Amino acid sequence: MTEPRRSVGFGSRFGWLAAVVWLVYLGQPLGTIWKHPPGLARDLGLVAIVAFGAGYLALFVRLRAAIWRRRSIPPGQAAAALGGLFAIGALIIPSAGEDWMVTLVYVSASAVLILPTRAALAVVAVLVVIPVVVPQFVPGWEPESGVAFAVLLAAVAVFAFGRLVERQTQLLDAQQEIHRLAVAEERARTARDLHDILGHSLTVIAVKAELAGRLLEIDPGRAGAEVADLERLARDALADVRSTVGAYREITLATELASARTALRAAGVVAELPTSDVELPPARSELFGWAVREGVTNVVRHSGARRCVIRVRPDEIEVLDDGRGPLVDGADGPHPGHGLLGLRERAEQLDARVVVGRGPGGRGFRLQVSFAGALP
């Protein structure tokens, strides 16, 4: 199955603008550099601050692409990028003086974004100390507690943003997994329903076709009636398939008992079915209908039985025959397949129990679906 593509909207195409907005704080050192007397220091400062802003943006875009692709920047590359960003920022010191410390805010934010948590904490701690300690050793500089606070605040804000991005990524993964499971469940449901519908209908059609073939020379009139039944059954099967694909087909106990009577009679099996309707909730009626369909299909197709009994109670249904029965008591029968598996899945959805095995006295086959609790 093709994995759903992530939506590509304004946020995914222009998310880098969020990093551009924060470059406004470089205006302070830029203004100081611009006021510096013309010369090598001023030119170096201008080039360095432009390179610093470009490097910060490039690092942001690189990290964003790595997150989108479920990858991380290798530690060596991350350390080199961070060191390079710090060094470029330091180049503006000759022209910007103590205002260069504004660049530490960007280095702090970048460290939290690209380094492992412990390494990022260590880097942020050093960057917080620099604006307070370094000015004490440089004549004319004043300790910048405001810059130190900004460095710490930027680290905390970016850390929170990173956790938000991580949660968003997990949410996207969860949504994709839910979509995948829903598609898989729908495919399994459709396969199960088609198997149950066609398995039963085609079995009855095959039995009637065989009977009609034997009656052609003995009793042409009855053979014609069987052929007419074949046409009706084929049309019913086609309608069932169409309604299954359209997801509006309804299975009930009453309709399946009527179909079972026809199928058993065509197969020459004596049928003992309930003579009165049992009032059941819709969900239970549908489950018992599937049980009748599966049980009768097995009787007609595999059992070689001469007699089939269906007993219905409000909390239980039983299908019994006097045929070969399972090879091992408790097994799914002589020819286990998808039908009983599908019936078990339906029963589990309603907290019902499916039991298969030998019939009373160790003879034949017994299929039982029962509820232990209250009506669903």
What are the pLDDT digits (tens) for 58-88?
888 777 776 666 667 787 888 888 899 999 9
The backbone torsions φ and ψ at residue 249, rounded to the nearest 5 degrees and listed phi first, read -70, 140
Q: 3-6 long-range contacts, Cβ below 8 Å, gap at least 24? A: 3/176, 3/180, 4/176, 4/179, 6/68, 6/172
Stretch 280-286: mean pLDDT: 89
Architecture category of domain 252-376 in CATH: 2-Layer Sandwich (3.30)
Specify the pLDDT at position 144. Answer: 84
Stretch 96-125: mean pLDDT: 88
Stretch 309-334: mean pLDDT: 77
User: pLDDT confidence of 183, banded at 50, 70, 90?
Assistant: low
Specify the pLDDT at position 67. Answer: 63
CA 280 to chain centre: 34
Beta-sheet strand order (sheet of 316-321): 270-272, 307-313, 316-321, 365-371, 352-358
Specify the pLDDT at position 17. Answer: 62
Token pair of 92 as six digits:
């503006």
pTM: 0.47
Domain with CATH 3.30.565.10 in the chain: 252-376
135-172 pLDDT, tens digit each: 888 888 888 888 889 889 888 888 887 777 677 777 77
Specify the pLDDT at position 198. Answer: 65
**pLDDT beyond 60 at 5:** no
Greater confidence (57 vs 316) lies with 316
User: pLDDT confidence of 374, banded at 50, 70, 90?
Assistant: very low
Specify the pLDDT at position 2. Answer: 40
User: pLDDT confidence of 28, banded at 50, 70, 90?
Assistant: confident
Specify the pLDDT at position 193. Answer: 66
